[in-house]
Structure 1
Amino acid sequence: MPVLIAAVVLVGLLCTLDLVLTLGVIKRLRDHTAMLTKVAAEGGGAPGRPPVIKVGEQVGEFSTLSADGEVLTRASLSGDTLVAFFSPNCGPCHEMLPKFVEYARNVPGGREQVLAVVVGTADRAKGQVAELGAVARVVVQEGSDTGVTDAFQVFGFPTLLQVTADTAGRPVIARNHVDLDAPVVAA
């Protein structure tokens, strides 16, 4: 009988230890959820999405060539400009691309008010460049050339932004998330 009592006490202790560890894991998950919610509220992106530049932040300096050979700089972003970042290695980018092209067709000012950046090798990016070329000025950013993604603080793909001029005429982020299902609106 003493062996049976010892076994029951041991099982009870193991169950209690398991309960304490499970409650610790639940508390840790709640802490992480609170941290992600705080990051999203501070403009760091919605949970499950890559963090993006905050609304009101100034676009950094950059200089690059478009696929058409046009020199593009921060000063090229005049008025309200839709800016998109895609990658040929990104599944969600391929899914979003047709919807983005349709949305960009309706942007006031047309192609001059849309900038699309495809991050990847020219060979791999040519399909996306061909689709985007009709509705946007397209830049292919290869290898160590990270000037445009750095200027917009892009950390993941796809990223859609709307840029407008502040009171001093400098380009700033008006929206750090563009809903492609909503009608086209100015910043």
Structure 2
Amino acid sequence: MPFLIAAVILVGVLCVLDLILTLGVVRRLREHTELLANAKSGLPAGIAVGEEIGDFTASTLDGETLRRADLDGETVVAFFSPTCQPCRRKMPKFVEFAKAMPGGRDRVLAAVIGEPDEAAEFAAQLGPVARVVVEGDDSGLVEAFRTSAFPTLLRVSPDEAGRLVVKATDVRLDRPALVA
């Protein structure tokens, strides 16, 4: 009888240990899933630091016509898609970041790429803090900035020669929006 009791206790301890290890593995898988989702959202923008921005003409929701020459100082340019889950997660942080941007909404350009009815929610959130452009997949902005992933956050400004170039492709939303 003592052997039977010992065997039952041993099996019970092994089951509890197995349960603890399984819960640990599930927790790590969730962390890795989140890391992979964040890594996908941080894919290179398709344009490198120092590269010149292509020509573009776009209309903002305020009716302003925007051209490359209109970005005459350091500007944060963001590309979002309403069908992108990482975009939805980054949107509140980006809005807070843009609120603190020196120069206000004139130094923030946000492009929402998608159908106008789908983009309305994003445009409403971005409107108070940025100049907002809503365009389809064949956007002139996507082409000019060679954007290949969403969300994409860039810092651009004119170089010494007056060309509009990318200064940073890794805009950190957890840091203050200071102009370099």
User: Which TM-score applies when normalising by structure 1?
Assistant: 0.72
* Greater RCO structure (CA 8 Å; 6+ sep): 2
Structure 2 residue 162 is the aligned partner of structure 1 residue 169: yes
For 1:107, give the aligned amino acid: M
Q: Give the whole-Å Cα distance in 1 for the aligned partners of 2:54 and 2:178.
A: 24
Which residue is 1:79 aligned to?
Answer: 73
Q: Structure 1: how far apart are the matches of 2:150 and 2:137? A: 16
Give the 5 Å matches for 1:12-31.
none
- Consecutive unaligned residues of structure 1, counting only runs of 5 or more, are 1-45
Q: 1:185 offset after TM fit, Å? A: 2.1
What is the deviation of 1:164? 1.1
Q: Which amino acid aligns with 2:128?
A: A
Q: What do you get for the CA RMSD once the two structures are aligned?
A: 1.4
**Cα deviation, residue 142, structure 1:** 1.4
1:48-127 correspondence runs (5 A): 48=40, 49-52=42-45, 53-127=47-121
2:135 matched residue in structure 1: 141
Aligned length: 141
Once residues 111 and 64 of structure 1 are traced to their aligned partners in structure 2, the CA distance between those partners, rounded to angstroms, is 16
Deviations, residues 76-120 of structure 1 (Å, cap 9, x unaligned): 111100100000000010110010000000111001000000000
Give the CA deviation at 1:153: 0.7
Say whether the 8 Å CA contact 1:78–1:113 is kept in structure 2: no
Is the 8 Å Cα contact of residues 56 and 141 (structure 2) preserved in structure 1? yes
Under a length normalisation based on structure 2, what TM-score does the superposition of the two structures give?
Answer: 0.75
CA displacement, residues 133-164 of structure 1 (integer Å, 9 cap, x when unaligned) = 000000001143x2101111100100000001
Correspondence 1:179 to 2:179: no
Please give the alpha-carbon distance, in whole angstroms, between the structure 2 residues aligned to 1:119 and 1:76. 20
CA distance in 1: counterparts of 2:140 and 2:43, whole angstroms? 19
Aligned to 2:152: 159
Alpha-carbon distance between aligned partners in 2 of 1:143 and 1:47, rounded to the nearest angstrom: 23
4+ aligned runs moved over 6 Å, structure 1: none
CA contact (8 A) 1:122 1:140 kept: yes
Change (3 A) 1:143 1:54: closer
